[in-house]
Amino acid sequence: MIWGSALVSLAAFLLAFASHSPGWMGLGIFIGFVSAIAAALLFIERHVRASSRPEHMTEREIQALRGTVRKKDDDSMRKLPPAPPH
């Protein structure tokens, strides 16, 4: 579908440049721009879909994430000593 849209765009621009009639020229330019924009959006959508991560996490990933979260009662979080009185 992506390459079909790109080919339709190319064919429509060729029709627009080869025709001598203003009606066919306008139709070719219109179809060419619409299908070129559609092809560009389809290429972008394919690239985004290929580089995106799934929305859900597996149980193993959830357990690994829970292991990295610090608890409030954790002794590893050191507190500053009290300030000396003035």
Flag whether 25 is in a domain.
Answer: yes
Flag whether 65 is in a domain.
Answer: no
pLDDT for res 61: 85
pLDDT for res 31: 96
79 pLDDT more than 80:
no
- In this prediction, residues 27-32 reach a mean pLDDT of 96
Binned at pLDDT 50, 70 and 90, residue 4 comes out as very high
Flag whether 74 is in a domain.
Answer: no
Looking at the structure of the chain, the number of domains it has is 1
Flag whether 41 is in a domain.
Answer: yes
Q: What is the pLDDT of residues 46-69, one digit of tens each?
A: 999 888 877 787 888 888 888 888
Flag whether 34 is in a domain.
Answer: yes
| pTM for the structure as a whole | 0.59
Flag whether 86 is in a domain.
Answer: no
Binned at pLDDT 50, 70 and 90, residue 20 comes out as very high
Closest among 42, 44, 31 to 1, alpha carbons compared = 42
Flag whether 57 is in a domain.
Answer: no
Kind plus residue range of the DSSP H or E element containing 30: helix 22-51
26 pLDDT more than 90:
yes
Q: Where are the beta strands (DSSP E) in the chain?
A: none
Q: State the CB neighbour count (10 A cutoff) for residue 31.
A: 17
Rounded to whole angstroms, the Cα distance separating 15 from 6 reads 14
Range of the structural domain that residue 27 is part of: 2-50
Rounded to whole angstroms, the Cα distance separating 62 from 77 reads 23
Flag whether 62 is in a domain.
Answer: no
